[in-house]
Structure 1
Amino acid sequence: MPRAIWNGWVIAEGDRFEMVEGNVYFPPGAVKAEFLRPSARTTVCGWKGTARYHDVVVDGQVNAGAAWYYPDPKSAAANIKDHIAFWQGVTVER
């Protein structure tokens, strides 16, 4: 069961997930929303669409833009709509 861990806390965990380009995308229900804070950051992927970001906040420490998701992905990436992936020091165990 994949888990995402940062600053000693499990911030996402679940049996269901999607793998895209080596990244685990957790469905929204597998992510502990109390550790996420919306960010204004966006990026664009040619085949997935526009990604939006969250800061990961644990014990007052902020990992800016460490979580991303596609709220309105292109059709080729429809399977990851609203699923959340992590990077920037967030450890994802599979």
Structure 2
Amino acid sequence: MPKAIWNGAVLAESNQCEVVEGNQYFPPDSINQAYFKDSTTHTTCGWKGVASYYSIEVDGQVNKDAAWYYPEPKDAAKNIKGYIAFWKGVKVEV
């Protein structure tokens, strides 16, 4: 079962992930909300749409914008609406 880990904490775990461009996108109900802080960062993907970000905080350490999601993706990416993916040192075990 795919699992996202950073700084020793399990951020998300699910066997219902979607894989897009090599990234595991975790369902919204599979994340441990205690570690997620809203960010004001946004980026745009030509085919997926506008991404929003979360910073991750574990034991007082912050990993800024280490998770992203598409709250309102374009039609081609509807299957990942609200799903969360990781980068910036977050280890995703498959």
Bin for the TM-score computed over the shorter chain = over 0.9
List structure 1 segments (4+ residues) > 2 angstroms apart after TM superposition: none
Flag structure 2 segments of 5+ consecutive residues without an equivalent: none
Instruction: Describe how 1:1-94 pairs up with structure 2 within 5 A.
Output: 1-94=1-94
Q: How many residues in Structure 1 have an aligned counterpart in Structure 2? A: 94
> Which consecutive residues of structure 1, in runs of 5 or more, have no partner in the other structure?
none
Local SS of the residue matching 2:47 = coil
| Deviations 1:43-86 (CA, angstroms, capped at 9, x unpaired) | 00000000000000000100000000000000000000000000
SS in 1 for 2:34: helix
Amino acid at match of 1:5: I
TM-score calculated relative to the size of structure 2: 0.99
Task: State the TM-score, normalizing by the size of structure 1.
Answer: 0.99
> RMSD over aligned Cα, in angstroms?
0.3
In the alignment, the residues of structure 2 paired with residue 17 and residue 92 of structure 1 have an alpha-carbon distance, to the nearest angstrom, of 11
Give percent identity, aligned residues only: 59
Q: Secondary structure at the match of 2:76?
A: helix
- Provide the rounded CA distance (Å) in 2 between the counterparts of 1:14 and 1:77: 19
